[in-house]
Amino acid sequence: MANPAAAAAGPSGGARSFLQAVSTVTEEAPSPLRVVQMEGLAVLKIIKHCEEFAPALVTGQLLGLDVGSVLEVTNCFPFPMREDDEEADADGANYQLEMMRCLREVNVDNNTVGWYQSCLLGSFQTVELIETFMNYQENIRRCVCIVYDPSRSNQGVLALKALKLTDSFMDLYRNNGLTGEKLREKKLSWVDIFEEIPIKVSNSALVSAFMTELEPESPVSQCDFDRLKLSTAPFMERNLEFLIGCMDDLSSEQNKFQYYYRNVSRQQSQQQAWLQKRRQENMARKAAGEEPLPEEDPSNPIFKPIPEPSRLEGYLVTNQISSYCNHINGVAGQNFNRLYLMKALQED
């Protein structure tokens, strides 16, 4: 948006016009994002799209407005299923532009505020998600990713999350600073990659009145009794399988760093041995009246620094492990509550 300060200059130099005041406010630091307000229609569209194609993973575009500390999501549309090649990417971009043009013609919000995607048992914390965030951040100052998990929603929980990258992590990622030294300097841990934003679902007064009319009169239905089922074995088994896989990935990441530190230690030993030999040689040259040789040789391979592996994969795997543990803990707690309830009913 163009800055209106130049066009709003008034005849008096001391007085500030309204547009000048507005332009000054817009130049200040933006207020932090506090809540994502979603229209009920947008939520239903996301759920419908993800449920129809489950267990396949799908994505779509979020449309809305950025108002102060609130990001409003008023509409969305799905992306078509496609293969990963250059021609398909071009078709996807053209489809997105055409959809936004059609929405603009029918007077629907067509401002991009992020995207949504489905996941399986909360397995969304990947490098691809971070790269997508960085690509969006180049054109959109503030955007979010809505993640919907159909498998968890089948357990009676609306698994809908609004995520964004933290500013400190984005700065390090842009500067390729995901090394141990930089992370310790910025005091950045694995919990500081993603920031979850609270979601508030809002509806118009007419929609709320209509939903009230649709509410059944009977207070208890068969769906309510289904919540007392004691069998959650498939859900627990899948979470445990994914957790074991993540533990293997974390072990592989740790092996990479152990190999790196072994190489660094070996290189330091070689440097010390070479330096000691060079000093002895220089002592002999001084005794012979010759000029001493430099104690560092950049052309020698042992002085070439060994690149440190990125910590990103390890951080993401640790985040994923924490997510699976929280899922298992929540389901296990619900199962214990059901067992105690059923035991009390049988005793009565």
Alpha-carbon span 288 to 304, nearest angstrom: 31
Tell whether 197 and 248 lie within a shared domain.
Answer: no
CA angle 185, 191, 195 (to 5 degrees): 110
Closest to 144 in 3D by CA, of 62, 30, 47, 41: 62
**4 located within any domain:** no
Strands 144-148, 160-165: pairing kind: antiparallel
Predicted pLDDT at 148: 92
The per-residue DSSP string of 172-235 comes to: HHHTT--SHHHHHHHT--GGGSEEEEPEEEE--HHHHHHHHHHS-SSS--HHHHHTT----HHH
Predicted pLDDT at 91: 67
Domain boundary among 227, 256, 279: 227
Tell whether 61 and 144 lie within a shared domain.
Answer: yes
Predicted pLDDT at 334: 75
**155 located within any domain:** yes
Tell whether 135 and 256 lie within a shared domain.
Answer: no
**205 located within any domain:** yes
Tell whether 178 and 49 lie within a shared domain.
Answer: yes
Predicted pLDDT at 4: 35
Predicted pLDDT at 146: 92
Closest to 236 in 3D by CA, of 155, 305, 310, 331: 331
Alpha-carbon span 160 to 182, nearest angstrom: 33
**199 located within any domain:** yes
Residues whose CB is less than 8 angstroms from the CB of residue 300 and which lie 6 or more positions away in sequence, other chains included: 274
Tell whether 199 and 250 lie within a shared domain.
Answer: no
Each residue's pLDDT expressed in tens, for the chain with a length of 348 residues: 333 333 333 334 444 444 444 344 444 456 788 899 998 888 999 999 988 887 888 899 898 888 888 888 988 888 887 665 555 566 667 777 888 788 777 777 778 888 999 988 878 888 888 888 888 887 887 889 999 988 888 777 788 889 988 888 888 888 877 777 778 877 888 888 888 899 998 888 887 787 777 776 665 555 555 566 666 667 778 888 888 888 898 888 889 888 988 988 888 888 888 888 888 888 888 888 788 877 777 777 777 888 888 888 888 888 888 888 887 887 777 777 777 777 777 776
Two structure tokens written together for 67: 């108002």
**318 located within any domain:** yes
Domain boundary among 173, 194, 227: 227
Closest to 63 in 3D by CA, of 38, 27, 26: 38
Domain boundary among 198, 227, 256: 227
CB atoms within 10 A of CB 198: 11
The per-residue DSSP string of 301-345 comes to: GGGSPPPPPPSHHHHHHHHHHHHHHHHHHHHHHHHHHHHHHHHHH
**152 located within any domain:** yes
Tell whether 172 and 266 lie within a shared domain.
Answer: no
Tell whether 105 and 195 lie within a shared domain.
Answer: yes
Domain containing 295 equals 244-347
Closest to 246 in 3D by CA, of 146, 145, 166, 314: 314
**11 located within any domain:** no
Give yes or no for a contact between 198 and 162, defined as CB atoms under 8 angstroms apart: yes
Alpha-carbon span 176 to 170, nearest angstrom: 10
Per the structure, how many domains does the chain have? 2
Tell whether 67 and 155 lie within a shared domain.
Answer: yes
Tell whether 250 and 205 lie within a shared domain.
Answer: no
Tell whether 276 and 139 lie within a shared domain.
Answer: no
Predicted pLDDT at 7: 36
Strands 70-78, 59-67: pairing kind: antiparallel
Tell whether 199 and 281 lie within a shared domain.
Answer: no
Query: What's the CATH code of the domain at 92?
Result: 3.40.140.10
**238 located within any domain:** no
Tell whether 274 and 143 lie within a shared domain.
Answer: no
